[in-house]
Chains A and B, each alone.
Chain A
Amino acid sequence: MLPDFVSVNPETKEEALAFLDSIGDARVIAGGTDLLVNMKRGESCRNVVDIMNVEGLNRLSVNDGEIVIGSTVTHAAISTITILNDMARSLSAACGLIGSPQIRNMGTVGGNLVNASPAADSISPLLIHDAILSIESKDETREETLENFIIAPYETSLKPCELLTSVCIKALPGYREGYRRTAKRAAWAISRLSVAWAILEDEGRFVDVKLAIGSCTPMPFRPRSVEEFLRGRTKVDPTIGEAVVMVTEEIRKITGDRPSFAYKLPVVSDLVQKALRG
């Protein structure tokens, strides 16, 4: 049984923003796959604003290599829309691994970001695409990078009156791109470690490397020093080996030594190595 609340089902963005501005103690619901579970476990609020009927928020548009994904686009849509498969392969692969078919039909990219789990599959691919989020309130529209949006596990910069309306990413033409993860089972499992990558190579050299590691640190992150190190270097085993060691050092810098490192560091090393080798 859910705690008692009053819900509204706005049909336009303006209506939704007006609700968020005027009613206190409100939570936004999209697919509900995180929020309702948390409510069943004891979280409560007086008001719920259901944004699934809001016109335009479920739109996906592509313009000149720029992809704008509305916040209520579902994981199922992201994993099956051909154009995303071509232009943001790591993202569509990651969204195809989230939960189960039912969860993917319900859960949305906006919900995944606002929930801000360290294990959220969509975050790492969006980080390598330098995602910029559009956040709106009744009086203001602002943009924020995904990197700045998530400020701690399960915590974002979103204010109570604000709504995440869309995510904008740029295609990375010419890059080979992907997402791999390990989990306790092949399906219907939470990611234990993940790597998203987009790598541009030319004649045996790394021209540009973008990496993001998920489920390892409090927030998925880009090991920037490693990306910098690899830029322009020849793609040979010693260089890849050095990069892998640097990744583990970056993780150590973020979290300090952890008991889980006995498992995590070898696995993340293997994932990164495979990503770099291709």
Chain B
Amino acid sequence: MKNVSFVLNGKRVSCEVQDRELLLHTLRERFSIKSVKEGCGIGECGTCTVLIDNEPHYSCLTLASKVNGHDVKTVEYLGDADHLHPLQKAFIESGAVQCGYCTPGMLLSAYSLLMKNGNPGENEIKEAISGNLCRCTGYIQIVEAIRDAAGLCKCKS
């Protein structure tokens, strides 16, 4: 077991983790953050995406011990049902959410992009979400949502 301390969605946290424990399971089971989901489990689908130091990572291939001393963000950082982030609102308004399974990961990849680039072009958006698969929308609505949100929101670290 190892003690890890990190910042989770803006709050300092610490917990004991197993050596072989994946960040995905730490977040789901120790912190009850169920928005981070296991899809393929081998770093291909992106539904387990979290931001580590504001950059997207696959939590299904990240040992929990690796985040000691780092900053971790999940979609809960953006907003909740009563206080939606403009990016979340744009996803709803553009029809970028269908089954919703990919949405938290998709939002985080988009958020990371908007933190670095306040006015991304279509290709930059497509590149940024290329590690997140969506099998419902065909991506067009997601790209539109991110483009619409870009002008409206400030993505803070």
Q: Which A residues form the contact surface with B (CB < 8 A)?
A: 2-7, 9, 29, 32-33, 36-37, 40, 48, 50, 52, 76, 99-103, 105-106, 187-188
Of B49, B66, B128, the residue contacting A50 (CB under 8 A) is B66
Main secondary structure of the interface of B (DSSP, over half): mixed
Q: Is there contact, CB below 8 Å, between A100 and B130?
A: yes
Q: Is there contact, CB below 8 Å, between A7 and B130?
A: no
Give chain A residues whose Cβ lies under 8 Å from the Cβ of B43.
33, 37, 99, 102-103, 106
* Beta-carbon nearest neighbor of A47 in chain B: B19
Chain B interfacial residues counted at CB < 8 A = 28
Of B41, B52, B66, B127, the residue contacting A101 (CB under 8 A) is B127
Asked if B57 is at the interface of the complex by the 8 Å CB criterion, the answer is yes
Of A3, A48, A106, the residue contacting B58 (CB under 8 A) is A106
Given A101-B130, A188-B131, residue A50 in contact with residue B63 (CB < 8 A): yes
Q: What is the distance, in angstroms, from A80's C-beta to the closest C-beta of chain B?
A: 10
Chain B 2-30, CB within 8 Å of chain A: the 1/0 string? 10000000000000000110100000000
Asked if B61 is at the interface of the complex by the 8 Å CB criterion, the answer is yes
* Beta-carbon nearest neighbor of A41 in chain B: B42
Give chain B residues whose Cβ lies under 8 Å from the Cβ of A103.
43, 58, 131
Asked if B74 is at the interface of the complex by the 8 Å CB criterion, the answer is no
Q: Is there contact, CB below 8 Å, between A52 and B66?
A: yes
Q: How far apart are the CA atoms of A70 and B56 in the complex, in Å?
A: 22
Given A7-B65, A101-B127, A187-B130, residue A40 in contact with residue B57 (CB < 8 A): no
Give chain B residues whose Cβ lies under 8 Å from the Cβ of A3.
20
Q: Can you give 6 A-B contacts (C-beta < 8 A)?
A: A7-B2, A32-B62, A100-B130, A101-B56, A101-B131, A187-B126
